[in-house]
Amino acid sequence: MPQSQPAVILRPNVVLRGGSVPSIPEEQRTRHVFDPSQPFTLPIANRYEHFEPTGETVSLDGLELRVMQWVSRTYVAE
pLDDT in tens, 23-65: 788 888 999 999 999 999 999 889 999 999 999 999 998 999 9
Q: Contact at 8 Å (CB) between 13 and 30?
A: no
The beta strands (E) that lie in the chain are given as 14-17, 30-31, 40-44, 47-60, 63-75
Q: Contact at 8 Å (CB) between 66 and 60?
A: no
Can you give the length of the chain in residues?
A: 78
DSSP class of residue 42 equals: E
Q: What is the reported pLDDT for 23?
A: 76
pTM of the model: 0.84
Q: What is the reported pLDDT for 2?
A: 64
The residue ranking higher by pLDDT, 4 or 1, is: 4
Question: For the residues 69-77, what does the mean pLDDT come to?
Answer: 93
